């Protein structure tokens, strides 16, 4: 039996491969999504990958994950640093939440990036490992 996992991505991540490749790499969003599904499959996980530029949509997905006790790999992108609605949605998750960032926000020069409203609710934070951070997150969830 495979376990369902949501890989949720926030604003601008749909532009991967085009947006600041010196920071976020050259892997496109479509390639990332396919990698996550493949990695998940080899781990016995049914991975569904989603991306939105609309905060309310992400909150709805997290609320459903809370209701269904679905593990979440979350790259909330810019919302990570200021969305208290995101903080509240993450607080209600009952299955593991792994926070992922392609870059290392804690080492970026912009001070606002050093704070995460997701981290207090995450069982693991992975940052600065590029798209491979998603693989590590899925391995962590599969190891349960």
Binding residues for substrate: 75, 81, 88, 102-103, 113
- The helix or strand, by DSSP H or E, that contains position 143, with its residue range, turns out to be helix 132-143
Residues in the chain: 144
Cβ pair 76, 88 in contact under 8 A: no
- The helix or strand, by DSSP H or E, that contains position 55, with its residue range, turns out to be helix 55-68
Q: Which residues pair with 124 in a beta bridge?
A: 98
Query: Which residues are designated catalytic?
Result: 24, 101
Q: How far apart are CA 113 and CA 125, in angstroms?
A: 14
Q: How far apart are CA 77 and CA 53, in angstroms?
A: 10
Known binding-site residue numbers: 75, 81, 88, 102-103, 113
């Amino acid at each position: 039996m495979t376990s369902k996992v949501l890989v949720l991505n926030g604003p601008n991540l749909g532009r991967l491969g085009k947006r600041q490749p010196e920071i976020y790499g050259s892997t496109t969003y479509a390639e990332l999504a396919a990698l996550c599904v493949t990695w998940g499959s080899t781990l016995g996980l049914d991975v569904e990958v989603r991306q939105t530029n609309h905060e309310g949509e992400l909150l709805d997905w997290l609320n459903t994950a809370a209701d269904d006790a679905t593990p979440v790999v979350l790259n909330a992108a810019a919302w990570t640093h200021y969305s208290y609605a995101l903080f509240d949605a993450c607080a209600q998750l009952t299955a593991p939440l792994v926070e992922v960032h392609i870059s290392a926000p804690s080492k970026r020069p912009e001070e606002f990036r050093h704070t995460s409203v997701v981290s207090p609710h995450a069982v693991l934070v992975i940052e600065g490992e590029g798209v491979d951070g998603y693989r590590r997150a899925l391995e962590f969830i599969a190891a349960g």
